[in-house]
Structures are given as C-alpha cells and as structure tokens.
Structure 1
C-alpha cells in the first residue's frame, strides 16, 4: 500500500470512523470506499476535499504526504 493510501486509512482510524461511516459521509458504498483504501479506485479532487473536511486536515496536500 502506498503512502497516500496508508494515510487515508490512518486518518480514518485516527478520527474513529469505520469504513462504513466514512463511506456514508462520502456518499459511497462500503465496497466503493474500500476500493479507495486499496488503491483500485482513484481519489478525485472533489472526494479529497470531502475527506479533508471529514478527517480534519488543513489542506488536501496533507492527504497526499506520506505518514
């Protein structure tokens, strides 16, 4: 798993959210969200902005930095 995907999972867990809860907030199915964490689905800019707000990072770029 590359750094970006690991960071997505790390931030989700740090905020105490399950994959199900994260998927719901992103208007995705759980399967669709799991694909994001596994890297088989690309994170769009729009989705990155939503994730940024949910997990409480200041900038979208913070999602892209390695942990």
Structure 2
C-alpha cells in the first residue's frame, strides 16, 4: 500500500471516530495497527498521529 493509501485510511478512521464515538476503542485499535504498518514499512508517522495514538492509548489503558 502506498503512503497516500495509508493517509486516506487514517483520514477515514478519524472521520469515523468523530461520527460515532461509541466505536472509539475499535477505531483506536485499527489506527494503532495502521501506524505500526507504517513503521514496519519504514514510512514516516506524522507527529500529530503519534500524539493521537498516545492519547488514545492513555484513554483506553494501554496498547491495542
């Protein structure tokens, strides 16, 4: 998957999170998996996504 594809998927997850906060934990797990994939492929993870990931991990008591 290209970096642009990952960005689009992350944007979709963020839109879903604001639209249905009841699924935040599931979305957090999917976001965490996407960010880990970016890291595994050597692609850059934007600082704002790193901060969001850390905030969600704190909210849900740890990693997905």
For Structure 1 versus Structure 2, the TM-score category normalised by the shorter chain is: 0.3 to 0.5
**Which structure shows the bigger proportion of residues in helix conformation?**
2
Larger Rg computed on CA atoms: 2
Higher relative contact order (CA 8 A, sep 6+): 1
> Normalization by structure 2: what TM-score?
0.33
Compute the TM-score of the two structures, normalised by the length of structure 1. Answer: 0.32
